[in-house]
Chain A
Amino acid sequence: MKINILKMIKCIVIFLITSISFAETFEIGGLYTYHYHDGRYADWGDYARTAAYMAIDHINNKNLLDNNDRLSMRPENTIDYHCWPSNAEAMAETLIKKDILIMTGTDCSSPAVKIANVGAKYEIPVISNGANASILSSREKFPWFIRVVTPSEEYDRYLIELADYLNIKEMAYFYTTDAWGLGAKKVIHSSVSEKGIIIAKEFGFERDTNQDTINSYMQIVKDNGIKNIVITGPTPDTARVFRAIDKYGLNVKGNTIFATEMISADEANDIVRGSKGYFAPMTFLEQTPQLIAFREALKAKLNKNIDVNSKAFFYGALSYDHIMAIRHAINDLKKNNTPITRKTLMHSLRNVDFIGVTGRVYFSNYTNDRINMPLQIVNSHGLDRETMQVKFETVAILSNDGKLIIDESKILLPGY
């Protein structure tokens, strides 16, 4: 009897020791944007980083990783890279030297290209919550990269579809010459060619081109009497184009404006005026119980009201899901008794399939892209006097066969 008790105690001790030794903490390195490189506050970046921390807390507090494993993203391993490429490689290399399993965030396409290259060089997975440049689709070029968004062509071509629906025949086109901008340019060229829309004037420029130069382009648009403008540039550049539109009085009845980026909720007055009535594509978030729970948790965490149609909220939700993708990938490996390494995690990430707060998250077998992501077109209704923030309304969603279903009653055009 005494021997049996001793055996039992021995078994319990062995069980405890082995279960304890199996519990691991997986370190994450984060590259998030809190301010742009010019010091402008990026509310969407704040939401994205907060949501990433929320996801980690949720996973840890609810023991959502098998064997009581934990995720950790230490402040010292979370860098504000300002959505800017110039030091992104050095920052990524510094993170890689630490004992991290994966790099997260990398929400801006130009720096994401550099970070994805570093990922490939050092064989460490990079998962992005927002970089949607076409170039990043390629698994051959970026074998250690994956993203919870679809590439920009999936977004940008719907702007041209909408323009076509509105019987637009010619337009001026503004794009940046970074990796993302060039990818978008290809899509726009191909889409306008399909629809028989003429690009009457085209302006390609580097990211962060100064306001004076942008103004001079807009002067040309005005002088040529062009009424329709399409913009595919990162948010700060898009904001400058809107500022120029306001300056030259082009936000008037009869004109239309399309841009691939949603402006932040707290933009300057002239930017808000210049952009009123413009259209932008965005992920469509279905009001599921998961999304509602996420919204409430984010609201509590940020201690402020949240506009579920804001760019910041979309990025927050996508960021939450990019961390959840890691959780699912790790659990899948554990189920198969596969050791968690950078290499196995990368492989496992490509095979996850789960319902996140942004809908079903799963990836193409051939690219780095999330597939079948629901999209919508939102329309700026300008400044909401109650919240003093930019108000966006959904004016179109996609049908099952990929066609735009447009609700004209919700459209507010420039000058109205």
Chain B
Amino acid sequence: MLRSFSILLIFVFCTSSLRAEIYDLGGLYTQHYRDGRYADWGKYSRLGAQLAIKKINTTNMLGDDKFRMKMENVIDYHCWTENIKAMMSTLSSKSIIAITGAECSAPAAIMADLGREYGIPIFSYGANASQLSSAINYPWFLRVVSPSEYYEGYLIDLAAHFKIDQIAYFHTTDPWGIGANKVIQQSTKNKNIRIIKKYSFPRDTSQSVIDEYVKETAILNVKNIVITTPTPDTVKIFKAIHKFGINKPGNTLFAAEMLIDYEDDAAVLGSIGYFAPIVRLPQSILLTEYIEDLKNFSHEELNVESANFIYSALSYDHIMLIANTILLIKKDKKPVTRTNLRDYMRSVSFTGITGNISYSTSSNDRLNTPIQIMNSHGADSNGAMNFVKIAEVNQKTGQLDIDEDKILWPGGISN
């Protein structure tokens, strides 16, 4: 009897330990831009991802199975396209089930291509280039954000609301910038807004070239400027706007990216009163818990309106997306493989801390992402950016609900 019981115990022990698996994740996250500028949003996105892994493991969300993301498998790719192929090849050759991070669109497009070549899923928390929408072109790619047209179109809606009829437009020529250009062209056409000057340039164009462009808009007395460029380029444009005295009453500024904390003074001054779209985080118990968890995890005070916080939340959810996909695979009693992750990832539907996350089968885009428009009120004495929500997209009508009382205009003018 005792012998049978012992055998049973050994059997239970052995089989349960055999069943428990560790799923290794690879990471391509940005900590510094390729020119060495610190990307603090990158730090927060890694914190969000780590917190999600901790949560999944401590709550036994995957039963006995665990997630792991070793630091040696997390590469700082500097939000840049150079060497992505080699990095992807290195990570893919390891026993990891998916690659996470992939937040910058131009490198993400390369990763998404290589994801197919190497047969490994890529989960992005921030790459929102339009070209990445296609599940046919990028079947191994998925993101917890909507494509840029979903965001940037609202900037032009806001411009139309302010009765703006002409703009100068700056965009980069990377995949994201090209996608954004299409959106802005279409939206301005729909709203009868004329682009009287357009400046297209590669990422990381020099400050002196940008200065020349902005100087020209000053000479032409263009009062309204729309920018769809990555953050480092956006910063250069704002520096030039400050240099040529364009941040003044009567002018308006719109940009696709939110500036990060501790930015150069000239960029902060040049950007006062500008508008930027970003994901809105709906109030929920999950979000409140996340705020507390992240505070404890990071040992830092948090500004929940900041881009950093929003990126951390999106990053948290992109890890939860993988966990939820695994739950679906397990429910069907299938092995958790890279291929099954790809096959099941668009079938998930769960409530994350950034709201409901679900997909259509033909797209890589998150459905119905809540969007808000932020307005820069400058930076506080410690250098932290102060963004205030002045509009949000009504989920039912798709129109902007604008709170004009909160707007601070260029030149530091309130309504």
Interface, chain A (partner B; CB < 8 A):
34-35, 37-41, 43, 46, 75-77, 79-80, 82, 84, 86-87, 90-95
Q: Taking CB as reference atom, which chain B residue is nearest A43?
A: B72
Inter-subunit contact A91/B36 (CB<8 Å): yes
* Contact A82/B83 with A34-B76, A38-B90 known, Cβ cut-off 8 Å: yes
Q: Which B residues lie within 8 Å of A41 (CB)?
A: 72-73
A93 to B32, CA, bound (A): 13
B36 touches which one: A38, A39, A79 (CB < 8 A)?
A79
* Contact A46/B72 with A40-B90, A91-B32 known, Cβ cut-off 8 Å: yes
Closest 7 CB pairs of A and B: A91-B36, A39-B87, A94-B36, A38-B86, A39-B90, A76-B38, A41-B72
Q: Can you pick out 12 interface pairs between chain A and chain B where the beta carbons lie within 8 Å of each other? A: A34-B76, A35-B76, A37-B82, A38-B89, A39-B90, A46-B72, A76-B32, A79-B31, A87-B82, A90-B34, A92-B36, A93-B36
A35 to B76, CA, bound (A): 8
Main secondary structure of the interface of A (DSSP, over half): mixed
Minimum distance in angstroms from B72 CB to a CB of chain A: 4
Q: Taking CB as reference atom, which chain B residue is nearest A84?
A: B83
B377 within 8 A of A: no
Inter-subunit contact B89/A87 (CB<8 Å): no
B91 within 8 A of A: yes
Inter-subunit contact B76/A80 (CB<8 Å): yes
B35 touches which one: A82, A84, A87 (CB < 8 A)?
A87
Minimum distance in angstroms from A72 CB to a CB of chain B: 15
- A sample of 6 more A-B contacts (CB under 8 A), given A35-B87, A82-B83, is A35-B76, A37-B86, A39-B86, A39-B89, A43-B72, A77-B38
Q: Which A residues lie within 8 Å of B36 (CB)?
A: 79, 87, 90-95
B34 touches which one: A35, A38, A76, A87 (CB < 8 A)?
A87
A94 touches which one: B37, B80, B82 (CB < 8 A)?
B37
A3 to B43, CA, bound (A): 57
B83 touches which one: A38, A46, A77 (CB < 8 A)?
A38
Inter-subunit contact A37/B83 (CB<8 Å): yes
Inter-subunit contact A86/B82 (CB<8 Å): yes
Minimum distance in angstroms from B39 CB to a CB of chain A: 9
Minimum distance in angstroms from A352 CB to a CB of chain B: 28
Q: Which B residues lie within 8 Å of A37 (CB)?
A: 82-83, 86-87
Minimum distance in angstroms from A124 CB to a CB of chain B: 14
A82 to B36, CA, bound (A): 12
Minimum distance in angstroms from B251 CB to a CB of chain A: 29
Q: Which A residues lie within 8 Å of B34 (CB)?
A: 87, 90-91
Minimum distance in angstroms from A235 CB to a CB of chain B: 14
Q: Which A residues lie within 8 Å of B83 (CB)?
A: 37-39, 82, 84
Q: Which A residues lie within 8 Å of B82 (CB)?
A: 37, 86-87
B78 within 8 A of A: yes
Minimum distance in angstroms from A413 CB to a CB of chain B: 31
Q: Which B residues lie within 8 Å of A82 (CB)?
A: 83
Inter-subunit contact B35/A94 (CB<8 Å): yes
With a 10 A CB-CB cut-off, give which of A46, A80, A95 has the most chain B CB atoms. A80
A35 to B32, CA, bound (A): 14
Inter-subunit contact B35/A90 (CB<8 Å): yes
Q: Taking CB as reference atom, which chain A residue is nearest B88?
A: A39
Q: Which B residues lie within 8 Å of A39 (CB)?
A: 75, 83, 86-91
Minimum distance in angstroms from B36 CB to a CB of chain A: 3
- Chain B residues 82 to 103 lying within 8 A of chain A, measured CB to CB, are 82-83, 86-91
Inter-subunit contact A76/B87 (CB<8 Å): no
Q: Which B residues lie within 8 Å of A79 (CB)?
A: 31-32, 36
A302 to B116, CA, bound (A): 36
A43 to B40, CA, bound (A): 25
Q: Which B residues lie within 8 Å of A76 (CB)?
A: 32, 38, 40
A79 to B79, CA, bound (A): 13
A394 to B87, CA, bound (A): 34
- Chain B residues 3 to 59 lying within 8 A of chain A, measured CB to CB, are 31-32, 34-38, 40, 43
Q: Which A residues lie within 8 Å of B40 (CB)?
A: 76
Q: Which B residues lie within 8 Å of A94 (CB)?
A: 35-37
A350 to B89, CA, bound (A): 43
A194 to B67, CA, bound (A): 58
Q: Which B residues lie within 8 Å of A38 (CB)?
A: 83, 86-87, 89-90
B78 touches which one: A46, A87, A92 (CB < 8 A)?
A87
With a 10 A CB-CB cut-off, give which of A35, A43, A46 has the most chain B CB atoms. A35
Q: Taking CB as reference atom, which chain A residue is nearest B85?
A: A38
Q: Taking CB as reference atom, which chain B residue is nearest A82?
A: B83
A77 to B87, CA, bound (A): 23
A226 to B89, CA, bound (A): 33
A37 to B78, CA, bound (A): 11
Minimum distance in angstroms from B149 CB to a CB of chain A: 31
* Contact A91/B86 with A34-B76, A41-B72 known, Cβ cut-off 8 Å: no
Q: Taking CB as reference atom, which chain A residue is nearest B84?
A: A39
A35 to B90, CA, bound (A): 11
Q: Taking CB as reference atom, which chain A residue is nearest B87?
A: A39
Q: Which B residues lie within 8 Å of A77 (CB)?
A: 38
Minimum distance in angstroms from A365 CB to a CB of chain B: 33
Q: Which A residues lie within 8 Å of B31 (CB)?
A: 75, 79-80
A15 to B71, CA, bound (A): 47
A86 to B80, CA, bound (A): 12
A95 to B35, CA, bound (A): 9
With a 10 A CB-CB cut-off, give which of A38, A43, A95 has the most chain B CB atoms. A38
Q: Which A residues lie within 8 Å of B43 (CB)?
A: 75
A82 to B84, CA, bound (A): 13
- Chain B residues 265 to 321 lying within 8 A of chain A, measured CB to CB, are none
Minimum distance in angstroms from B98 CB to a CB of chain A: 15
Q: Taking CB as reference atom, which chain A residue is nearest B31?
A: A80
Q: Which B residues lie within 8 Å of A84 (CB)?
A: 83
With a 10 A CB-CB cut-off, give which of A34, A77, A79 has the most chain B CB atoms. A79
Q: Taking CB as reference atom, which chain B residue is nearest A31?
A: B36
A40 to B75, CA, bound (A): 9
A84 to B80, CA, bound (A): 14
Q: Which B residues lie within 8 Å of A87 (CB)?
A: 34-36, 78, 80, 82
Q: Which B residues lie within 8 Å of A34 (CB)?
A: 76
Q: Taking CB as reference atom, which chain A residue is nearest B28?
A: A39
Minimum distance in angstroms from A48 CB to a CB of chain B: 14
Minimum distance in angstroms from A347 CB to a CB of chain B: 26
Minimum distance in angstroms from B82 CB to a CB of chain A: 7
A243 to B31, CA, bound (A): 32
